[in-house]
Amino acid sequence: MNTIDWIILFSTLLLIVAYGTWKSRGSRNIDGYLLGNKSLPWWSVCLSIMATQASAITFLSTPGQAYDDGMRFLQFYFGLPLAMVILSITAVPIYHRLKVYTAYEYLESRFDLKTRSLAAFFFLMLRGLSVGITIYAPSLILSSMLNWNINLTTIFIGSLVMIYTVSGGTKAVSMTQKYQLTIIMAGMIIAGMTAFYKLPHDITFPEAFQIAGEMGKMNLINLSFDLSDRYNIWSGLIGGLFLFMSYFGADQSQVGRYLGGSSITQSRLGLIFNGLLKVPMQFVILYIGILVFVFYQFNQPPVFHNQSLMTRAAETEYGADLATYEKEYDLVFKRKQAEAENLVAAIREDNPGEIEAAKQSMEVIKGQEKVIREKVKTAISSAIPGANTRDTDYVFITFVMTYLPHGLIGLLLAVVFSAAMASTASELNALASTATVDIYKRSIRPVADAYHYVKASKWFTAGWALFGMAFASIANQAENLIQFVNIIGSLFYGTILGIFLAAFYVKYIKSNAIFFAAIISEVIILYCYFFTKIAFLLYNIIGCLVVVALGIIIQTIQNQGTKKAPQ
């Protein structure tokens, strides 16, 4: 990092914040503050949806995931376009016609107040805790890369977001997200191009594909049906459909984005273009990770990508061991580099025998590298007890900091900060909308003038931002807390989706049946969590199906009870 990087980083972030705050100032009614006066065109809705979903961790982790595991993660997003179509047909027109501020408000007109309040409460629980993690996760990585204090980093991100979300509400969120997403996409593409142009021997684009393919990284589609395998086309289409239906249909941080659309058509187009763009966008981000992988076949990668942790471990009594492992790794790399060059030559000669031979040698070397990396991780764990030795999240950012020219480093850091701010802003805005409209205005203070509710929303936004920052500081002290929050999402999402699916599609189920079905479903999910070993991702589907099934059963029992009553 040099002065140019710092100037680019800070000027990008501060300009976006200042612009968003200035342009969206002065909303004096709740329509303006929480819905942006329903004035957004489709492309603005689309950018806002994409910026909300893509958190900083998406840009830090996804290239690392491709580097480590290949491109199969892409299949996870195949259910998203299907979810966009279903929601465009059902949810969008209903939300628009009922003129709701939040998704949960609809539940009162479909069921009753208690179901609305229950769903709003579940949402505040899961999103309220996760906003802390949205700030904390990138702060951890950035503070380690920039040698900043972690609490200062969380306060920096949290305060910048707080300024414009409190001041301008929804309008400020979508206005800033446009520019943030532009910076993000430009930065990522520049990083990918830099990795490509730094490849030796004038390697062409198809050759980069082929090298990655020979190393087993172009595993885009897996057609085999296997429930234990997280990424295959079926889990992507079916599991992804459920996950994205709940995320886009029942999570206010996304519903709030398309409620701001100026008409049903604009909101639908926003969702549909998100469906068109999301999979190619993930492809590009994953492919950047593949380019970094190919780059490291010809250039020495660090033995452990979280270099700040490595340096700390090297200062302990394990320093000598780590130095030995690094030397071993260097020697192994020299052999790998030679084989990678053989592979390129074989590909150019189109010699299948030579290609296979080079591939086999590289596989053997990969095994040796893995053994050394495991030894390094064990040494780091012994040197710094409790340290997180998973370094895939650091692969991309370490590459950026080491190999990108000055100026671009600042831009790429602005990408990560912008992504963190864009998703945090939507979450804060959604938490404030739900707390104000579904709890405060509905049950605590139903009668007051419009400006009173704008002020209340501002206080709620600031309150959730402070809560998020405080939670991020605690998360720093307790690694288990982060796991807990990730689990909390899975514990409540399925039930919320079940309530909404029943609301949209199972008209037979009425208010009392759905309320008790939701509570029993939540008890069952908690039982699964404490007493079984069912994978967390399945909780979404279990919770959803249990709510709908129980809703039908309870409603049937209730109907029979009412029929018998007059006799």
Partner 1 sequence: MSEENDEKPPGFKRWSGWYWLLMIMLAVQIVIYLFITSSF
Site for partner 1, rule CB under 8 A: 74, 78, 81-82, 84-85, 88-90, 92-94, 97-98, 109-110, 209-210, 212-214, 218-221, 233, 264-265, 268-269, 272, 275-276, 279-280, 283, 507, 510
- The answer to whether 362 and 339 are in contact (CB under 8 A) is yes
* C-beta closer to partner 1: residue 106 or 304: 106
* C-beta closer to partner 1: residue 233 or 552: 233
* Cα–Cα distance, 472 to 474 (Å, whole number): 5
* C-beta closer to partner 1: residue 274 or 521: 274
C-beta neighbour count of 232 within 10 angstroms: 19
* C-beta closer to partner 1: residue 78 or 104: 78
Backbone angles phi and psi of 136, in degrees to 5: -70, -45
Per DSSP, which regions of 161-268 are E strands? none
| Rg of the chain over all Cα atoms, to the nearest angstrom | 25
* C-beta closer to partner 1: residue 78 or 396: 78
- The answer to whether 113 and 512 are in contact (CB under 8 A) is no
* C-beta closer to partner 1: residue 352 or 407: 352
Q: Which residues contact 235 (CB under 8 A, 6 or more apart)?
A: 75, 76, 227, 229
Q: What is the separation of C-alpha 358 from the centre of its chain, rounded to a whole number of angstroms?
A: 37
Q: Which of 471, 107, 91 is nearest to 245 (CA)?
A: 91
CB of 76 to partner 1, least distance (A): 13
CB of 291 to partner 1, least distance (A): 14
* C-beta closer to partner 1: residue 80 or 431: 80
CB of 276 to partner 1, least distance (A): 6
CB of 228 to partner 1, least distance (A): 21
CB of 167 to partner 1, least distance (A): 35
What six digits make up the tokens of 535? 């994978």
DSSP state of 261: B
Q: Which of 517, 424, 536, 311 is nearest to 17 (CA)?
A: 424
* C-beta closer to partner 1: residue 28 or 99: 99
- The answer to whether 13 and 418 are in contact (CB under 8 A) is yes
Cα separations in angstroms, 160 against 51, 138, 141, 456: 16, 15, 18, 20
Per the DSSP assignment, residues forming a β-bridge with 261 are 40
CB of 508 to partner 1, least distance (A): 10
CB of 108 to partner 1, least distance (A): 10
CB of 139 to partner 1, least distance (A): 34
